[in-house]
Structure 1
Amino acid sequence: MLASVMAGVDGSVESLTAAEWAAREALRRGLPLRLVHVWDRHPRPAEEESESAVQRHVARSALRQAQDRVRAVCPDVRLVNELVEGPAIAELLKAAEDAELLVLGSRGLSGFTGFLVGSVAQGVVARATRPVVLVRAGETAADELLPTEYNSAGPRTGYRDVVLAVGLDVPGDAEIEFAFEAARLRGARLRVVHAWQTPVLGLGPGEIDLLDDPRRAEERRHLLTGALRLWRDKHPDVEVVATVTKDRPQTALIRAASGAGLLVVGHRVAQRPVGRRTGPVTHAAIHHVDCPVAVVPHD
């Protein structure tokens, strides 16, 4: 199957928003958009035929609704619809194997409670071998763009920053490449953030320099510069601002993502039992950041 941007839709408001975001991303990448609805029928034996017919009708309606929504906002996107039967997480993962990325919706909550990410979305993120983008309900095309000057009535121009959270202990090229490409496609600035904390260790004689925070920060800056060098050379047109900060990684990425158009985080899938859990940084990103979040798996 040809490469595509894929959106999982189920008729909910958040999935329709995700389909719109996926359509815009498909246009940016010059790829078709696949709208996929998964339905898992569980009819009672006595009513199997009638219940299956109803479920199939609902599934087709959800696909048609998403298609109409996409056509209204992105009429130029190449569109493919797909109705799949089976367990939602397994079938979405299977369908996404041929996609460049999978886009799913998450429902925004008010205040400091973050975002409600459904069990299907969480299961897909934890197990996916392809990038997954979570989009909050209510996200619009205008939210991707920089705000206008104060009191300006003109149109918005330029994309908000793409933010990349990098862990230097096990840096993943996959998320770095994804972030650079996302910034290039948008003509956006790429802000790279690495957060570190002083390790709690029992130090022996001669190791006191490990407690020198300025020297440790400088060492981290050198490591970050090295990790980004290849990608900066490949994408010289992408403006990059790299920051090293002493803070909890979860706190740093939430703060850095404020006002961003897209946050990119890595998800290490190796050495996890069946890939069923996300790490604390990825968990914080998908629950507490209000811009779209791309979770990019790496070994």
Structure 2
Amino acid sequence: MTIPLVVGVDGSEASLEAVDWAAAEAVRHGVPLHLLHAVAGDREASDVIGAASERAAKTAPTARLSSEVLHEEAASALVVRGRNAFALVLGSRGLGDLAGMLLGSVGLAVAAHADCPVVVVRGGVEHRAGRYGNIVVGVEDGEGSGTAVEFAFREAHVRRCRLVAVHAWSVPVGNPGPPGLSGYALQALRRPPAQVLAEALRESAERYQDVPVSSEVVEGPARAALLDAAAGADLLVVGARRRHGHLGLQLGLVNHAVLHHAPCPIAVVPQI
């Protein structure tokens, strides 16, 4: 049995935009779409799930659609469903979140604890509708980006679009190195940034040879580099490392920043 793409709905416009995005995504990947409405109180759950189902059927008539209502806390319900999901898809803010919040509390909690990729649907219609033909993936040194890179290549493959791989680096604070060396030369003494990026992409690039790839090595903060690249992207993909001793808490400072400020949908992909 094919595991479903699960989208959380709460009746807000942001969650209906997430339904649109998820319906198209389910068709692209040939997976079922499951709508989940979790509510702790007695709001009109049938109206919420009915409106979301109607929206999904209109957006993607060929999608295999199912739905359920759970009377429990939304973030916990979604995290549990995520243990057997292709991905979890959420709107950027729900009905219960304060108007000034850049990302809803449910979305932040789910992204921090889920075992599967979590997509927060952000940005205007041009970003949500895939009009740019680019997917951006952030690549860091070490093993934290491996699953994210694979996810990004697969997305670019099914969308038949370009992949932009971004690796940001900076000279460690308090480590000036030998006199006369530039920042890049100093970093290259440890491990050249271009090599870090090439090695991270190699395995997936061999598997998805039809995907055109652009590599960008940027000196500076990863947050700024990713947000700049995402301005012309349909999807931003970042990895999430497992935090040893803190089960499920996997959002670092860069992930927090892009979840709150990305101009396009963003996928947070836990390291396997």
Matched, 1:35 2:35: yes
1:38–1:87 CA contact under 8 A, matched in 2: yes
Name the TM-score, length of structure 2 as normaliser.
Answer: 0.90
- Where does residue 5 of structure 2 map in the other structure? 5
**Alignment equivalent of 2:83, drawn from 97, 105, 109:** 97
Matched, 1:193 2:166: yes
**Alignment equivalent of 2:50, drawn from 61, 64, 89:** 64
Instruction: Structure 1: give runs of 5+ residues left out of the alignment.
Output: 42-54, 109-113, 147-159
Matched ranges for 1:244-255 at <5 A: 244-255=217-228
How big is the shift at 1:137?
A: 6.7
CA offsets per residue over residues 12-38 of structure 1, 9 Å max, x none? 000000011000000000011000010
How big is the shift at 1:95?
A: 1.1
Alignment CA distance shift 1:74-1:169 (3 Å):
same
Report the Cα distance in structure 2 between the residues aligned to 1:25 and 1:283, rounded to whole angstroms. Answer: 24
Instruction: Report the secondary structure of 1:273's partner residue.
Output: coil
Q: Which amino acid aligns with 2:263?
A: D
Q: Which moved more, 1:97-106 or 1:212-221?
A: 212-221
Matched ranges for 1:80-229 at <5 A: 80-107=66-93, 116-136=102-122, 139=125, 143-146=129-132, 160-202=133-175, 207-208=177-178, 211-215=181-185, 216=187, 219-229=192-202
How big is the shift at 1:232?
A: 0.9
Q: Which amino acid aligns with 2:2?
A: L
- Where does residue 233 of structure 1 map in the other structure? 206
CA offsets per residue over residues 117-164 of structure 1, 9 Å max, x none? 111111000011100000027546873124xxxxxxxxxxxxx20000
1:188–1:238 CA contact under 8 A, matched in 2: yes
Name the TM-score, length of structure 1 as normaliser.
Answer: 0.82
Alignment CA distance shift 1:66-1:235 (3 Å):
same
CA RMSD in angstroms, aligned pairs only: 2.4
Instruction: Report the secondary structure of 2:240's partner residue.
Output: strand
How big is the shift at 1:245?
A: 0.9
Identity among equivalent positions (%) equals: 39
Instruction: Structure 2: give runs of 5+ residues left out of the alignment.
Output: 95-99
